[in-house]
Each structure stands twice: as structure tokens, then as C-alpha cells.
Chain A
């Protein structure tokens, strides 16, 4: 924050002249890179397909409407599988995420030097791989089906839940913990009385939030053979049965809307 003296008046500027120049040059560089990239992309695009796109889209739209409503009788079971994959996966993930979160939080970890990095590694590694890829791996290991889907969703969710939960643990009010410690409570009692009540709202929020995400993720797991409504979707796509595809998409949309409504209600009730 430079202040210049000129004619007895103190003039205040947000940045010095040097800083402004640097910023101006930064913007120039950004625009130049953007233009250059635009040219590169343009060169390697087959523009015929792009100009053609509206016609193809229109073609698919006419084939896909109206949806084949009668097909709904065959979708009940797969959507139920999808819901179960999401719910079971979330429950398993939460059971595994809670200990990981306590080991990862700076204020509860038994050893910041050895155990915390391991817990953080678990969080990062489970988070960094998409559930579709987990499903592919697990189908190779335990075979196709709903079970592979459940495990894929569970593994993918551990890192997410543990990360949010350990951040909640690190943000608790320390004096409440001190107060419980001062009564002569043991380590576990301090946890049950001083820490758990403080993170319970966050925990419930994380659980429904992740469940909501998992419903969306589990709808596509079937594409690789891990059960659920995605199986029907990929089968219909393979035979170009567009009216069936559109009905499946509608069913998925409704399921996701219901799950969002439920999670919003639950979170509202807690907070």
C-alpha cells in the first residue's frame, strides 16, 4: 500500500507503479496464451462434425422421444440395486472413515510423525481414483455384480468422508475438551464427551451429502458391469434403443432429485 507525498497531500494507491506494471504484463501474457491455444485447438478440430452436431442431436432427440414407458417394469429392480449400492457403500465408507479421520486430525492423532501421514495417504489415495476405475479393478478381482459396485463406492467415499470429518475434528472448541480432561476423564471418555458431541452435526451432514453423491455415481457403475441401472443403460445404448435410454435417464433424474430432497431435509433438520 504505497502512499505518495505530493504537494503536501498524501495520495494513496492500492498498488505501486511496479506492481501495476507486473499485473498488466500478466494479463497480456494470459490473453496471448489463450489466443495461441485457441488456434491449436481449431487446427485439430474436424469442423464438419461440429457444424453437423445440431442435426445429429435433433436426429437422436426424435428417435428418443417419446420414451418407451412400458420398459419401466424392467427398471424397478436395477434402480433398487443402484440405491442399495449407494446406501451400503456409504455406510461401509463411514465405518472406515471415522477411525481414519481421528488418526488424521492434528489434535487427536496418536502420532503426528508416523500415523498421521499414513492416514493422510489413505485419504488421498482413495479420493484420487474415480469410483468407475475402482469398479473396473474390483470387477477384475471379485467378478462383476452389485458387490463390486458396493465396494467401489465404499472405497471412493472413505477419503472424501474422512477428509471432511478430520477438518471438523480440527475445528472443535478446545476448551470443551480441556474441561472434560480436567475432570479426570480417560482418553476415550474425553473423546465420547468432549469431541463426539461437537462433530456429530458435521458427521450427519457429511453422511447424507456423500450418500447423495453416491446415488449419482452408482448410476454409472453399471456401464462397466458393476450392477445397478447403468447395466440397463449400457445394454440399451449398445442396441441403439433410444426410447429406452431416454426413459432410463428420466428414472435416474427422478432418483437423484429424490435423494437431493432427502439430504436437504436431513441437513436442515440437523443444522
Chain B
């Protein structure tokens, strides 16, 4: 469904963030993108919806090359891709409901959105989503009154109300505590399953990725150095991705974590 073809990004400073990335994501598959800071993970998902303009190569979403679209067509294409951010990126001074409904902006004219006159169907869907993530009672609160985990749930609702085919998720758990991180990851993967969504999840925490995701892609210096099952991440592979370190503890932790999960 999503295909990256020789996707390359060179920043003005001359840094090559992505070096001819080829990647295919089938419909409904959730994959985790791991790699050290500066490996190009964020750049890659931002190149998909062109928050960052790729230098060359193609991004094919259902056989439409997003890199060739004009601004109007790009807006339509962006509606198909929901995005979730590390620091939640909610508009702090708007209410939870407004934040969720802002996911529908791509479908609405300026004045209707400015006057907050959303179609009833959108409002119904917003309430349904908030109920699904357990934040229905918070609908009228301002976004900056929420805790980190709650904000990320609102961020998820905003992405899902777009009715996307694909989720682009940038470090969803990096600002959250371990327990909330798990809940958020579980929520994202569950929702993807319910709706048959594909997702690319950037994530620092290897153990967390291994717990929730069926496919892991490892990025190093803008190149894919690993693509396979989470169980295939041996210490040698992790060394190849991140560099020399004692990896045994990281991998062992997975089993312990699952025990904790079961106990909860």
C-alpha cells in the first residue's frame, strides 16, 4: 500500500539523512522503525507526508506518487495519513474536542472550521473516539490541563478522525512513563487492528517495539540495516544498528516485561 522508492533526503547543510530508502508496507501492517538518534527516522516519516520535502525518490501511496502532487492534491493525500507526535503536538489553548475535530480540517472549508461548525457526523465520530480511548469526560477541558498519557490519547483521536489508511507515528512514548508507554503502544496497535490500518512507528525503546509489533526495521545513518521479525534482533544485529553495547539485558527484558503485563 505504501512504497518508498529510492527515497533520499539531503539537508541544506549537506547531511544525508536518508540514502535511497526502499521500503514496502502492506495494508494493515504495523511496523516499528528503530535506530539511534539522527539515523533519519523522523525525517523518513516526515518525508512520507511531505512535512519535509524529499530530495529525490518516490513515495507511493496506493500507486499515487505523493512527491509529485501539487499543494491541493497533497492536502487531499494528507487526509489519508494520520500523524501522531512525540510531544503530542496538541494545540494547547484549544479544548480536547477542538483538537480532535481539527483532524477533520482537510475535509472542511475555512469558514466552517473557523466558526467551529463541524458536521454532526464528525462530532458524533469525535465523541465515539474519545469514548474509545476513555476520555469522554474530558471533551470540554483545555488540552494543557491533561496529563501526558491523556494528551497522547487525544493525539491518537485526532489522527484517527481523519479516517486514514496509514498512521505515521513519531516517538509516541518518548515523553511518557513506562506504564503509560505500554498502554499507548497497546492502544495504537489495537486501533490499527480494529481498523485495518497500516502504521509506521518510530520508537527508541527496542524492548517496547518487540513487545507490540510484528515487523521491525532498523535504520542507521539513513540506511536500512535490518528488516524482519522482532525475534530476529540478536545482539549482533543490535550492535549493527546502534553500535557496540551489551545487549543481553535489553533482549532478556522482553520476557520479564511480558510477565509484568500478564500480572496487571
* Structural contact, A184 and B106, CB atoms closer than 8 A: yes
User: A168-188 CB contact bits vs B (8 Å, 1 = yes)?
Assistant: 000001011011111111101
Q: Is B136 an interface residue (CB 8 A)?
A: no
Q: In angstroms, how far is the closest chain A Cβ from the Cβ of B74?
A: 8
* Structural contact, A192 and B114, CB atoms closer than 8 A: yes
Q: Which B residues touch A193, using CB under 8 A?
A: 91, 94, 102, 105, 113
Q: Is A194 an interface residue (CB 8 A)?
A: yes
Q: Which B residues touch A179, using CB under 8 A?
A: 83, 85, 89-91, 155, 158
Q: Is A250 an interface residue (CB 8 A)?
A: no
* Structural contact, A185 and B102, CB atoms closer than 8 A: yes
Q: Is A198 an interface residue (CB 8 A)?
A: yes
Q: Is B87 an interface residue (CB 8 A)?
A: yes
Q: Is A130 an interface residue (CB 8 A)?
A: no
Q: A189-B110, A192-B110, A193-B105 are in contact. Are A175 and B91 (CB under 8 A)?
A: no
Q: In angstroms, how far is the closest chain A Cβ from the Cβ of B193?
A: 23
* Structural contact, A183 and B89, CB atoms closer than 8 A: no
Q: Which A residues touch B24, using CB under 8 A?
A: none
Q: Is A200 an interface residue (CB 8 A)?
A: yes
Q: Is B68 an interface residue (CB 8 A)?
A: no
Q: Which B residues touch A189, using CB under 8 A?
A: 105, 108, 110, 113-114
Q: Is A26 an interface residue (CB 8 A)?
A: no
Q: Which B residues touch A197, using CB under 8 A?
A: 91-94
Complex alpha-carbon distance, A260 and B74, angstroms: 49
Q: A184-B162, A185-B102 are in contact. Are A175 and B93 (CB under 8 A)?
A: no
Q: In angstroms, how far is the closest chain B Cβ from the Cβ of A30?
A: 42
Q: Is B81 an interface residue (CB 8 A)?
A: yes
Q: A188-B110, A193-B105, A193-B113 are in contact. Are A183 and B158 (CB under 8 A)?
A: yes
* Structural contact, B110 and A176, CB atoms closer than 8 A: no
Complex alpha-carbon distance, A197 and B92, angstroms: 8
Q: In angstroms, how far is the closest chain B Cβ from the Cβ of A169?
A: 15
Question: Which of B83, B91, B107 neighbours the largest number of chain A CB atoms within 10 Å of its CB?
Answer: B91
* Structural contact, B110 and A186, CB atoms closer than 8 A: yes
Complex alpha-carbon distance, A178 and B81, angstroms: 13
Q: Which A residues touch B67, using CB under 8 A?
A: none
Determine the interface band of chain B, counting residues with CB < 8 A from chain A.
20 to 34
Q: Which A residue's beta carbon lies closest to that of B80?
A: A184
Q: Is B78 an interface residue (CB 8 A)?
A: yes
* Structural contact, A183 and B110, CB atoms closer than 8 A: no
Q: Is B103 an interface residue (CB 8 A)?
A: yes
* Structural contact, A184 and B75, CB atoms closer than 8 A: yes
Q: Which of B79, B90, B93 makes the CB contact (< 8 A) with A183?
A: B79
Q: Is B49 an interface residue (CB 8 A)?
A: yes
Q: Which B residues touch A183, using CB under 8 A?
A: 78-79, 82-83, 102-106, 158, 162
* Structural contact, A180 and B105, CB atoms closer than 8 A: yes
Complex alpha-carbon distance, A198 and B51, angstroms: 20
* Structural contact, B158 and A176, CB atoms closer than 8 A: no
Considering only residues 150-192 of chain B, those with a C-beta below 8 Å from chain A are 155, 158, 162, 168
Complex alpha-carbon distance, A186 and B113, angstroms: 11
Q: Which A residues touch B89, using CB under 8 A?
A: 173, 175-176, 178-179
* Structural contact, A182 and B91, CB atoms closer than 8 A: no
* Structural contact, A182 and B92, CB atoms closer than 8 A: no
Q: Which of A176, A182, A192, A201 makes the CB contact (< 8 A) with B113?
A: A192
Q: Which of B76, B83, B87, B107 makes the CB contact (< 8 A) with A182?
A: B83
Q: Which B residues touch A182, using CB under 8 A?
A: 49, 51, 78, 81-83, 168
Complex alpha-carbon distance, A97 and B168, angstroms: 38
* Structural contact, A198 and B85, CB atoms closer than 8 A: no
Q: Which of A175, A200, A201 makes the CB contact (< 8 A) with B85?
A: A175
Q: Which B residue's beta carbon lies closest to that of A199?
A: B93
Q: Which of B83, B87, B91, B108 makes the CB contact (< 8 A) with A194?
A: B91
Q: Which A residues touch B92, using CB under 8 A?
A: 173, 176, 197-198
* Structural contact, A185 and B75, CB atoms closer than 8 A: yes
Q: In angstroms, how far is the closest chain B Cβ from the Cβ of A198?
A: 7
Q: Which A residue's beta carbon lies closest to that of B103?
A: A183
Q: Which B residues touch A181, using CB under 8 A?
A: 51, 78
Q: In angstroms, how far is the closest chain B Cβ from the Cβ of A149?
A: 35
Q: Which A residues touch B85, using CB under 8 A?
A: 175, 178-179
* Structural contact, B110 and A198, CB atoms closer than 8 A: no
In the A-B complex, list the 3 residue pairs whose CB atoms are closest, starting with the nearest: A184-B106, A185-B105, A184-B78
18 cross-chain CB contacts under 8 A: A173-B89, A175-B87, A176-B89, A176-B92, A178-B51, A179-B83, A179-B89, A179-B158, A180-B91, A182-B51, A182-B82, A183-B78, A183-B106, A184-B162, A189-B108, A193-B94, A193-B113, A198-B91
A-B contact sample (10 more), CB < 8 A, given A182-B83, A194-B91:
A176-B90, A179-B83, A179-B91, A179-B155, A182-B81, A183-B79, A183-B103, A183-B104, A185-B102, A198-B93
